[in-house]
């Protein structure tokens, strides 16, 4: 029971700390807006092309923005030795990992919930009616990305080339996840029957399971010195 309380305490602390000065949130929102805005120019102003590529573009926006958030989350712990402090408590390492994961996951999800309407407005698409199904795809996708990202950002946090290393390690590993999320989103946006998205959901579930189990087993080795 205290395990769950610790996980929730860490996530709450992260969200609260973030909400106080909103540094991370703002940076992520503005970056997301910028990325969405740039798509217009990158694709030659062709609205039809953008709508056709919308599932891929959405996930590009989500993942790039997430990397920003993940990096800042660990930075926050490195200031003032807070990560050290966190590890000095009698808390299981798994609880610390899950707590950070939960915090990261929720932050990224909130940003996604803002990106959806932003995209819909900029590119004149109706995403609102499809939102529940879109979330059905977005949640496992985001969970897997946050899980891998929490693990890897812990690894890269102290390194010299950390801004480059986190995406360089994270993206190849999560390609199957991003791929499945894009395909699943495509199914929803085209209005196809949802069963077509099932294989992709299964793949995301497989990825999420593997990454969560592997992270829970190896996190304690990562943080000890």
Residues near other proteins, by CB under 8 A: 2, 5-6, 9-10, 13, 16-18, 20-21, 76, 79-82, 84-92, 148, 151, 155-156, 159-161, 165, 168-169, 172-173, 175-176, 179-180, 183, 199-200, 203, 206-207, 210-211, 214-215, 218, 221-222, 224-225
Least CB distance to other proteins at residue 23 (A): 9
Long-range CB contact pairs, 183-188, < 8 A, 24+: 183/55, 184/137, 184/141, 185/54, 185/55, 185/58, 185/59, 185/134, 185/137, 185/138, 186/55, 188/130, 188/133, 188/134, 188/136, 188/137
Least CB distance to other proteins at residue 211 (A): 7
Residue 36 or 147: the one with the smaller Cβ distance to other proteins is 147
Least CB distance to other proteins at residue 154 (A): 9
Least CB distance to other proteins at residue 17 (A): 5
Cβ 64 vs Cβ 115: under 8 Å: no
Residue 3 or 128: the one with the smaller Cβ distance to other proteins is 3
Nearest-angstrom CA–CA distance, 212 and 209: 5
């Amino acid at each position: 029971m205290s395990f769950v309380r610790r996980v929730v305490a860490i996530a709450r602390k992260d969200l609260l700390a973030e909400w106080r000065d909103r540094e991370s949130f703002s940076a992520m929102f503005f970056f997301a807006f910028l990325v969405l805005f740039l798509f217009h120019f990158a694709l030659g102003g062709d609205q039809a092309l953008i709508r056709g590529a919308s599932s891929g573009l959405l996930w590009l926006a989500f993942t790039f923005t997430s990397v920003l958030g993940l990096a800042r989350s660990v930075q926050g712990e490195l200031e003032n030795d807070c990560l050290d402090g966190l590890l000095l408590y009698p808390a299981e390492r798994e609880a610390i990992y899950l707590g950070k994961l939960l915090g990261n996951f929720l932050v990224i999800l909130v940003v996604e919930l803002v990106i959806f309407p932003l995209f819909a407005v900029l590119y004149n698409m109706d995403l609102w009616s499809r939102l529940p199904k879109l979330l059905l795809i977005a949640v496992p996708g985001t969970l897997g990305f946050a899980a891998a990202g929490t693990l890897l950002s812990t690894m890269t946090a102290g390194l010299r080339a950390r801004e480059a290393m986190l995406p360089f390690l994270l993206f190849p590993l999560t390609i199957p996840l991003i791929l499945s999320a894009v395909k699943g989103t495509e199914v929803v946006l085209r209005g196809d029957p949802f069963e077509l998205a099932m294989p992709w959901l299964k793949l995301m579930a497989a990825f999420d399971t593997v990454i969560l189990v592997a992270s829970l087993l190896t996190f304690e080795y990562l943080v000890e010195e």
